[in-house]
Each structure stands twice: as structure tokens, then as C-alpha cells.
Amino acid sequence: MTAQEVAVLDYGSQYSQLIVRRVRELGFVSHLYPPAELANLKDPGAIILSGGPRSTSEKDAPDVDYDKLMSFGVPVLGVCYGMQLLNIKHGGTVKPGVTREYGPAKLVVTDHEDLFKGISHESQVWMSHSDTCANLASTTKVIATNEDAIPVALKWSERCWGIQFHPEVTHSHEGTAILKNFLINSGAKLAKFDIEAFKAQMLDRIKAEVGNREVICGVSGGVDSTVLAVLLAKAGVKVRCIFIDTGMMRLNEAAEVKELFGKVGVPIEQIDASATFLGALKGVTDPEQKRRIIGTLFVEEFWKVADNVELLAQGTLYPDVIESATSGSIASKIKTHHNRVDKIMELKEQGKVLEPLAELFKDEVRALGASLGIPHQALWRHPFPGPGLAVRIPGEITAERVATTQHADAIFIAELRRSGWYERTWQAYAALLPVKTVGVKGDERSYEQAISLRAVISEDAMTADWVELPYSVLRNASNKILNSVKGVNRVLYDISTKPPASIEWE
Ligand code: XMP
């Protein structure tokens, strides 16, 4: 038998792609599939059924073709909803819950034989469910419980297990080790994940999907669009890279981007559309409306430059996809990311949008970029949102407010670079608050604006923590901003985690 991929069946959990990512981190090839794709899988090496928001007792709840699942003769793991589904298939039942158990819980292992080999007797896991497995078939073995002795891990056969918790999230302290046990101790024959092979596959896929069509690719200088542009250039397809200056970029951004693309040898066309964007945003204060306006203008500006272009390439990553899932899909809508606005959805329906990075997380994109020969500094630039400084300027956006934000931001970023903190943070920036506060400048009362600094660490932007920057770094940045940014008399440091806050202000 040849080594094969780990197929993850997606029952709609927000964490489904994280399972794929953990499997890749463990060094194996893995892909996510809608449950119905089970019928078309070609010799998978192992199958994982993800969690999901539905209840198995609901009418039309997503199901699994059990005979097909077992016909592969490979190890199977059900997570949360996946476990409940498998318990029913093995002759047990699922009890509908009235309340949702959400958060950390204690895992008490009662059988260390395979799935929990080397796992602590007691450890923290992350739960997110309301239904529970109830009556178990007599052949079902309980291999772990929670602290109230309720079964949370089941073994139905030598090749089939279920766990009620989410091993893929970092809050399950030994989650990755449990997944590793599943992949290694189960006897699965698995294909090794290798970035070079992955890159080659991606280049082939792009070539096949694009064919002779001309692709237009928006570049911002950020990691995602840079990797995308170089990937398209390396795939040898016809590509035009366009940098639209929205007027809401960071200080000197246009010049820096030009220099970067010169270095990687990919030509770009720069268009200054700042007057159009700022004009359209006049008087607009609603965050979603701002995003929609910017997203729509982006596409219009593209189409102005390249009227007959047949394909639009976007550096959309997995967290963007999951966070702007449209209503009707299983994951719930959180906020409209600029590359998911209506106009783009229309183009998508016409098959005119190419998103080759959509199954990747940021660190995977960086690894891909390194293997494409993109310079370290470009890969480690902080992510910058599509709508730019607009999402960091709550309230109305004016050229003056943008200039104030740019100036403060440049000072903060320079201080992070000087102190060695830039690459130790995932993302950092200055936001301009829509308030004025009283202060004293010289001998006079001042009534000026407030800047809020934010620096976060994150693994994949889905959760984030604020960075404990040294006071000296904060003090230097604050002093410089207060002394040189016109119209600012107060500097704050944002100490909010995501969730409940988001990384950006809007
Ligand atoms: P939030 O604010 O949602 O941000 O916690 C998570 C990550 O996504 C970036 N971000 C965006 N990126 N278009 C993008 O390309 C957008 O509309 C957008 N909004 C947020 C944000 O900078 C952070 O890295």
C-alpha cells in the first residue's frame, strides 16, 4: 500500500482547517473535504471527521456514509460532532444537550494503550459542544472521561476512535500529541508533507486553472499578495500585478513596494487612486460600509486598468475565508473582509477569481514564500489589512486624519525595529481614535486627538494576545509621537486580547 493523505471531513466547525494544519505540522499531507466528498476519496491513509455546530438529532443533520467510510480499511477519528455521528453508527445514542459546554475541561485518561499513549493521566482539553454520547454499544470502550466520569473518548474498534474535545486548538494542551498518536500508533500509512512538493503541486494547479487567460493580481507589499504574485510569475502564466494606492497605505508604502518587487524581479504597475477612495469615503463612519466601499472601488480600479482581464487573483488566506463565510454556510459571518464583498462574490460565481492560498495559514504562506526565494524582510513584514488604515481610523476618514495616523504609525514601527521588537510581534500599528481630549502644550490648554498603539502576537490571526512591550519602548514611541505628530496630545496602549476584541479597530 502506498503512503496516502489524511482526509479531514468538514462538518462545519470553525476549527476544521486547523485539524488539517496540525496534521501538516506533524509532517503529513492533509486536505479538507465536504462530507459528501467521502464517496470520491481515492485511497486516503486516515480519515478525521471534524466537529460541527449542528445536532445529530436535527432533521437533515449532516451524515456519514458509514459503509463507505469503513470500506477504506484505514484509521478513523471522530472529533466532537464526528464522534457523536460515529457513536450512533456503532450502535450508541446521542443525548441532545440543553446548554453548551464551552471552554477548558479536564481530560482524565483511563486507557493509555494507543490514542493516549504517553499522554498525562490528567490534562486540559477544549470543549465546545452541547450534545453528548449517551448509551454506548457493549463493544464500545471508554478510554477517557471528564472529571465527572462522563465518557469523552471512545474506542469502537482497533481502527476507530472518537473524542469529544478539540485536539487541534492550542487550549487542548496535549492535543497535538493525541493527533500524532492517532496518525502514528494507528498503523496508518501516510504521505509526508514537504513544502517543495507542495509548491510544485501548487504551480501545476495554477497553470492548469489559468490556462491561457490573463490574470490580474492586486499587490500591496504584504506577505500574502507578494507570495501570490511571485507564485503566479513562477507558474509562467500571463500576469499583470497592480498596486492601487488607496491613500490609506502606510507612510512611504508605494515607494517601498516598488523597491521590493524590483528585488524579486516581478514588474508592477502603480496607480494612485487616493483621491477617488477618499472622496467615496467622505462622511462615512460605519465600519462595514467603509469596507464595502473600499472593496468595490478596488475591483473597479482594477477593471479600469485591465478591462478585458479574465481572472482576478487574490491572496485570500484561510482565516479570511472562515471569518467572512456568507450566510447559509455553516460557519457564521463575523465581518466582511474586503476581498469578500458582493462584487467579488459575483465574480467568483462566474469563475473569475483565483485564490490559490485559500487553504493556507500565514506561517505556511511564509514557508512557501521562502521556498520561492522571497527576501526574509518582505516575508516578515507585518500583515496589513486590505482596507488599509481605514480600519484603524474609526469615524470619518479624511486626508488629514490619514496623515496623522501614518506619521504616528511610522514612529511606532521605527521604534519596534530599533528595539528588536518588530519581528517578535505579529502585527503592530497606531490607530487614531475619534475623540479629542484635553491636555497642556507649552503653557496652553490643548484639545487634541488620541493615538492608540496596538502590538499583538498571534499564530494565525484567529486569536491574538497583546504584547508585553518593555515600558522603555512604549515610552520612546509615546514621547516621539507626542513631540512630533501634529494634533495629538495623548497616546494609549491597547491591552485587549482577540477574542473578544479583534486585531483591527474596525
Ligand atoms: P481582525 O481585525 O479581524 O484581523 O482580528 C485579523 C487579521 O486580518 C487582517 N484583516 C484583513 N485583511 N482584508 C485583509 O486582507 C481585510 O478586510 C482585513 N481585515 C482584517 C488584520 O490586519 C489581521 O491581520
pLDDT in tens, the chain (506 residues): 456 999 999 999 988 989 999 999 899 999 899 999 999 999 899 999 999 999 999 999 999 999 999 999 999 999 999 999 999 999 999 998 777 788 899 999 999 999 999 999 999 999 988 899 989 999 999 999 999 999 999 999 999 999 999 999 989 999 999 999 999 999 999 988 888 988 999 999 999 999 999 999 989 888 899 999 999 999 999 999 999 999 999 999 999 999 999 998 899 999 999 999 999 999 999 999 999 999 889 888 877 886 767 899 988 887 676 665 543 344 444 566 666 667 678 888 889 999 999 888 888 899 999 999 999 989 999 988 889 999 999 999 999 999 999 999 999 999 999 999 999 999 999 999 999 999 998 889 999 999 999 999 997 788 899 999 999 999 999 999 999 999 999 999 999 999 999 999 99
- Residue 97 and residue 143 in one domain: yes
Q: 393 in a domain, yes or no?
A: no
Q: 24 in a domain, yes or no?
A: yes
pLDDT value for 506: 96
Q: 500 in a domain, yes or no?
A: no
CB-based contact 12:54 (threshold 8 Å): yes
Residue 474: CATH number of its domain? 3.30.300.10
Q: 132 in a domain, yes or no?
A: yes
Single out the residue in 344, 379, 414 at which a domain terminates.
Answer: 379
| 168 tagged catalytic | yes
- Helix and strand numbers (H, E) in the chain are 15, 20
| 80 tagged catalytic | yes
pLDDT value for 77: 98
Burial of 428 (0-12, 13-18, 19+ CB in 10 A): buried
- Residue 140 and residue 12 in one domain: yes
Candidates 90, 133, 160, 166; catalytic one:
166
Tell which one of 246, 337, 357 to mutate to probe ligand 1, the residue whose CB is within 8 A of the most ligand atoms.
337
Residue 269: CATH number of its domain? 3.40.50.620
pLDDT value for 2: 52
pLDDT value for 331: 47
- Residue 152 and residue 258 in one domain: no
* Closest among 144, 213, 210 to 181, alpha carbons compared: 144
Single out the residue in 347, 379, 411 at which a domain terminates.
Answer: 379
CA distances from 153 to 35, 163, 172, 240, 457 (A): 22, 4, 14, 52, 32
- Residue 126 and residue 152 in one domain: yes
- Residue 132 and residue 62 in one domain: yes
**Residue 104: its H or E element:** strand 101-109
- Residue 216 and residue 85 in one domain: no
Q: 154 in a domain, yes or no?
A: yes
Q: 252 in a domain, yes or no?
A: yes
CB-based contact 95:134 (threshold 8 Å): yes
- Residue 417 and residue 374 in one domain: no
- Residue 266 and residue 411 in one domain: no
Residues 172, 174, 178, 179: what is their CA dihedral angle, to the nearest 10 degrees? 60
Cell of 260: 521590493
Tell which one of 460, 504, 505 to mutate to probe ligand 1, the residue whose CB is within 8 A of the most ligand atoms.
504
- Residue 275 and residue 200 in one domain: yes
57 Cβ contact partners less than 8 Å away, ≥ 6 residues apart? 94, 96, 131
pLDDT value for 332: 47
Binding residues: 220-226
Ligand 1 mean position, distance from CA 7 (Å): 29
Triad 173, 177, 182: Cα angle to 5°: 130
Triad 96, 119, 70: Cα angle to 5°: 55
Q: Taking the alpha carbons of 269, 271, 277, 278 in that order, is the dihedral positive or negative? A: positive
Q: 504 in a domain, yes or no?
A: no
Binding residues for ATP: 220-226
Q: What is the rounded average pLDDT for all residues in the chain?
A: 91
Ligand 1 mean position, distance from CA 504 (Å): 7
Q: What confidence tens digit (pLDDT) does each residue in 43-84 have?
A: 899 999 999 999 999 999 999 999 999 999 999 999 999 999
| 241 tagged catalytic | no
pLDDT value for 127: 93
Alpha-carbon gap, residue 288 to 52, rounded angstroms: 27
- Residue 172 and residue 133 in one domain: yes
- Residue 13 and residue 117 in one domain: yes
Nearest CA to ligand 1 atom 7: 461
Nearest CA to ligand 1 atom 12: 385
Ligand 1 mean position, distance from CA 204 (Å): 29
Helical spans, DSSP H, in 350-398: 362-371, 376-379
Nearest CA to ligand 1 atom 11: 385
pLDDT value for 3: 65
Ligand 1 mean position, distance from CA 396 (Å): 19
Cell of 371: 521556498
Alpha-carbon gap, residue 5 to 47, rounded angstroms: 9
Task: List pocket residues of ligand 1, CB cut-off 6 Å.
Answer: 291, 320, 337-339, 383, 385-387, 391, 427, 461, 498, 502-504
Q: 137 in a domain, yes or no?
A: yes
Q: Total structural domains in the chain? A: 3
Candidates 90, 133, 168, 241; catalytic one:
168
- The DSSP line for 272-323 is E-HHHHHHHTTT---HHHHHHHHHHHHHHHHHHH-TT--EEE----HHHHHH
Q: Which domain holds residue 467?
A: 398-493
Ligand 1 mean position, distance from CA 462 (Å): 10
* Closest among 335, 334, 391 to 505, alpha carbons compared: 391
Alpha-carbon gap, residue 160 to 92, rounded angstroms: 14
Single out the residue in 184, 206, 222 at which a domain terminates.
Answer: 184
Nearest CA to ligand 1 atom 4: 503
Nearest CA to ligand 1 atom 13: 386
Residue 29: CATH number of its domain? 3.40.50.880
Cell of 91: 450502535
Alpha-carbon gap, residue 379 to 374, rounded angstroms: 7
- Residue 27 and residue 166 in one domain: yes
The closest-lying atom of ligand 1 relative to the alpha carbon of residue 315 is 15
Neighbours of 359 (CB within 10 A): 17
The closest-lying atom of ligand 1 relative to the alpha carbon of residue 291 is 17
